[in-house]
Amino acid sequence: MPSYSFLVNGESRTATVDADTPLLWVLRDELQLVGTKFGCGIAQCGACTVHLDGVAVRSCSLPISAVGEQKVTTIEGLSEEGDHPVQVAWKEHDVPQCGYCQAGQIMTASALLAKNPNPTEEEIKSAMNGNICRCGTYLRIFDAVKAAAQSR
């Protein structure tokens, strides 16, 4: 079985897994970074979203062999103190209900704001589209993303 070395949350990590093992399972099972969640397994719900060189990607469908030299950031690596503007806005707007989708939602929103610090309402809706919230907190999610953009 091959070994894959890559940068996760600023730290060099190695996993010995099959080439087609999804990044999600490497993060959760091999590296014990369990903030990234399994939802659908087909890259449709967004619960598994992480950053790959700053771009939001669905880790459930990305084989570890495709990561290469790209930097992986999980919810655990977004901010050591939990004070990223999106995380702060999430708390201020009381977004989480069950919380299952929140890591993926936050990672999607933070990638959007890193690329576009002042998105329009339509750009926010477009970027967040496809991140499913089982509890239906979409209005609070939208408000929190707007607030995080304004606070930056």
Out of 77, 111, 129, a domain closes at 77
Whether residue 34 is found in the same domain as residue 71: yes
Q: Tens of pLDDT along 112-139?
A: 999 999 999 999 999 999 999 999 999 9
User: Residue 152's pLDDT band (boundaries 50, 70, 90)?
Assistant: confident
Q: How far apart are CA 152 and CA 136, in angstroms?
A: 26
Whether residue 53 is found in the same domain as residue 8: yes
Domain that holds residue 120: 85-151
Mention every residue, 6+ apart, whose C-beta is less than 8 A from residue 80. none
Three-state secondary-structure class, residue 51? strand
Q: What is the pLDDT of residue 124?
A: 98
Q: How far apart are CA 81 and CA 99, in angstroms?
A: 19
Whether residue 63 is found in the same domain as residue 129: no
User: Residue 102's pLDDT band (boundaries 50, 70, 90)?
Assistant: very high
Domain of 142, CATH number, reads 1.10.150.120
CA 32 to chain centre: 16
Q: Tens of pLDDT along 10-34?
A: 999 999 999 999 999 999 999 999 9
The mean pLDDT of 105-113, rounded to a whole number, is 98
Whether residue 52 is found in the same domain as residue 94: no
* Model confidence, pTM: 0.96
Whether residue 108 is found in the same domain as residue 70: no
The sign of the dihedral angle between the CA atoms of 44, 73, 77, 8 is: positive
| Count of the separate structural domains present in the chain | 2
Q: How far apart are CA 52 and CA 59, in angstroms?
A: 9
Q: Tens of pLDDT along 86-101?
A: 999 999 999 999 999 9
Whether residue 57 is found in the same domain as residue 94: no
